[in-house]
Amino acid sequence: MNLPNVSTNAATQAPKFYKFVGRVFIWLAFWFILWIPWSSMLAVPAVRLAEVLLTYFLPEYVFEFDLNGTQAMMLTHFGEVGGQIMSAKRAGNHLAFPINTQILTYSFPLYIALTYVTTGRGNLAGCRCRTCEN
């Protein structure tokens, strides 16, 4: 019975795996650096859609839904005074619920980095480090 040599196969696969992981981390750093200033712009369509849907379907609850930088803020028609919830006119304020929009968009740089590496585009031309050499 002729069995394959498992130790030789594992020894040849390990360097490929380490190169793959190294390229993924290089591209993750690159895409996350690009993502940081653009993260709020990527969330604009989702925030605007949420604003339209919430104000249309729940007009008696949602006063305003707005985006400010990476923070989306939903204001309600309710306010709070001394722990009691009441109308915003009586309370003189609105209950506000902040939402960090970067939670909606962090997957973009992750998927782009993985796509670059798995499709072969992640090979850094001109780079001579052990991680990038073919």
What is the 3-class SS of 5-44, one letter each residue?
Answer: CHHHHHHHHHHHHHHHHHHHHHHHHHHHHHHHHHHHHHHH
* 10-36 pLDDT, tens digit each: 556 667 788 888 888 988 999 999 998
Cα–Cα separations (whole angstroms), residue 83 to 62, 74, 86:
20, 19, 10
pLDDT at 104: 79
- Angle at which helices 107-118 and 6-57 pack, to 10 degrees? 150
pLDDT at 20: 81
Residue 125 tokens read as 């031309």
Q: What whole-number distance in Å separates Cα of residue 37 and Cα of residue 43? A: 12
* 94-119 pLDDT, tens digit each: 889 999 988 878 888 988 888 888 87
* 41-98 pLDDT, tens digit each: 888 998 999 999 999 999 999 999 999 888 999 999 898 888 888 888 888 888 899 9
pLDDT at 49: 94
Q: What whole-number distance in Å separates Cα of residue 43 and Cα of residue 68? A: 11
For 9, residues 6+ apart whose C-beta sits below 8 A from its C-beta are none
pLDDT at 117: 83
133: three-class secondary structure by DSSP = coil
pLDDT at 1: 58
Angle at 110 between CA 104 and CA 116, to 5 degrees: 140
Q: What whole-number distance in Å separates Cα of residue 120 and Cα of residue 19? A: 12
